Amino acid sequence: MKKILLMAAAAIVALVANGQQALGPASGIVSPEINPDNSVTFRYVNPKAIKVEVTGDFLPSVPIQIPGGGVWAAPSKAALKEGKDGVWTYTSEPLKGDFYSYTFVVDGQKVLDPNNVYLSRDIATFTNTFTLSTEAFDDGHYYMQNDVPHGTLTKVWYQSAKMDRRLTVYLPAGYEQNPKAKYPVLYLLHGSGGDENAWSELGRACQILDNLIAEGKAEKMIVVMPNGVVRNPSAPDAQENNMFQPTMTNSRDQDTKPMEDEFPVIKSFVEKNFRVKTGAANTAIAGLSMGGRHSFSISRRYPGTIGYVGMFSGAGNGPENEKELKALFAAKPTLYWIGVGSADGVQKTASALRDYCEEKGYPCEYHESDGGHIWKNWRAYLVIFAQKVFK
């Protein structure tokens, strides 16, 4: 027996050294480090590198003209400085509270920070992320995992016409403990290149809802995040093509009709499988970019069933079907909300839709923020929109 105990102890020591299957050793470096003044220090170890930079949305943007038209507000780069033992370092200016993305650029090649396990995927591009909050009620605060009751996140499959498809569903804290309670539903749609993981990961939807509900600023609600590309079953992690690499093309529907047709299928599944309050007063839809266009088209297609509509940087929302839009407003939706960045390529169509609504006497709220066609804006719009619904 004593022998077995000694072997057990030896085995534990060996395991520690083994580090299970991790394919490389830890460096002992901390990166990123959020400093007391809310500046952030980035560190990277590479004695052989000639040039190490960091790029990310915490740095000022620089406009880049794209061949064929359009301007992309690309994050600028900042150079890290090499210290002893090949440790490169850069410290940012003090930052505002927000959820930030970055990568290193090592001799011209994008490299993820090997010391930061926080990653987010946008279409096919991974970036490291960090979240900071400079005061209790800034935007960063809403994006952080705080000591508040947390909702449940579920990935559930529903039967669509051609295949089973995956839905991401957020259930507010208390859902399980209150088996008779019913909740209103927000359908929250992603953009081109995205999928049913986009809002819960890059969009921080769970943190935003947890925090707004805990502070009494938003009603308890269920948030349903479908995959808006009807020919795709799911995000890559659950794709039957086990090597699916998303692109703007294979994860976008040019036409809104497939998603318009799919919406009642999703809604019916949700109403059958979760405890939801039904009717226009308890139903909201919002989306970013392509999802903004979907929200525009779906709300117009089914007048009188959706009380709250949010279009975040809605791509190509034009009132091309005036009769349906008239029917939508005849049913008096409680909120028709447009959010867009002043530097966004779709700012002109967004403000034109507002002008059209004003001309027709359709009640419409318009919110213009700084910046372009970026997640920073969409997270902020969700914070605003979620406080306006079901009240």
Tell me which residues in 229-258 interact with a second copy (CB under 8 A). Answer: 236-240, 242-248
Q: Which of 231, 223, 171, 173 has the alpha carbon at shortest distance from 198?
A: 223
User: Which of the 8 DSSP states describes residue 58?
Assistant: T
> Token pair of 190, please?
């992603």
Q: Is 349 in the site for a second copy (CB under 8 A)?
A: yes
Q: Is 21 in the site for a second copy (CB under 8 A)?
A: yes
Please report, as residue ranges, which positions from 55 to 84 form the binding site for a second copy (by CB under 8 A).
55-57, 66, 68-72, 74-75
> Token pair of 350, please?
């967004």
Range 92-119 burial, b when 16+ CB lie within 10 A, else e: beebebbbbbbbbbbeeeeeebbbeeee
Please report, as residue ranges, which positions from 296 to 325 form the binding site for a second copy (by CB under 8 A).
315-320, 322
Mark the segment that binds a second copy (CB under 8 A) among 87-95, 219-227, 297-305, 373-381: 373-381
Q: Which of 60, 83, 149, 279 binds a second copy (CB under 8 A)?
A: 149
Q: Which of 88, 90, 100, 130 binds a second copy (CB under 8 A)?
A: 130
CB of 391 to a second copy, least distance (A): 26
Q: In this complex, which beta carbon is closest to a second copy, that of residue 161 or of residue 281?
A: 161
Q: In this complex, which beta carbon is closest to a second copy, that of residue 25 or of residue 216?
A: 25
CB of 227 to a second copy, least distance (A): 13
CB of 390 to a second copy, least distance (A): 23
CB of 5 to a second copy, least distance (A): 5
Q: Which of 342, 121, 127, 133 has the alpha carbon at shortest distance from 235?
A: 121
CB of 318 to a second copy, least distance (A): 4
My answer on whether omega of the bond before 149 falls inside 30° of 0, hence cis, is no
CB of 380 to a second copy, least distance (A): 14
Q: Is 12 in the site for a second copy (CB under 8 A)?
A: yes
User: Which of the 8 DSSP states describes residue 20?
Assistant: T
Tell me the DSSP string of 72-135: EEEE-EEE-EE-GGGEEEEEPPP--SEEEEEEEEETTEEE--TT---EEEETTEEEEEEEE-SS
For the chain, the farthest-separated pair of C-alpha atoms sits apart, in whole angstroms, at 88
Q: Which of 97, 184, 193, 228 binds a second copy (CB under 8 A)?
A: 193
Q: In this complex, which beta carbon is closest to a second copy, that of residue 75 or of residue 307?
A: 75
Q: Which of 37, 93, 107, 135 binds a second copy (CB under 8 A)?
A: 107
Binding residues for a second copy, how many (CB under 8 A)? 116
Mark the segment that binds a second copy (CB under 8 A) among 104-112, 212-220, 326-334, 362-370: 104-112
Q: Is 136 in the site for a second copy (CB under 8 A)?
A: no
Q: Which of 390, 220, 226 has the alpha carbon at shortest distance from 295?
A: 226
CB of 132 to a second copy, least distance (A): 8
Q: In this complex, which beta carbon is closest to a second copy, that of residue 150 or of residue 277?
A: 150
Q: Cite the beta strand spans of the chain per DSSP E.
A: 33-34, 40-45, 52-56, 61-65, 71-75, 77-79, 81-82, 87-91, 98-106, 109-111, 119-122, 125-132, 152-159, 164-171, 185-189, 222-226, 283-288, 308-312, 335-341, 365-369
Q: Tokens 């995956």: give the residue.
A: 166
Q: Is 266 in the site for a second copy (CB under 8 A)?
A: no
CB of 281 to a second copy, least distance (A): 26
Please state the φ and ψ torsions of residue 226, each to the nearest 5 degrees: -80, 170
Q: How far is CA 359 from CA 315, 330, 338, 364, in A?
A: 21, 15, 16, 11
CB of 152 to a second copy, least distance (A): 5
Neighbours of 122 (CB within 10 A): 17
Please report, as residue ranges, which positions from 161 to 190 form the binding site for a second copy (by CB under 8 A).
164, 166, 173, 176
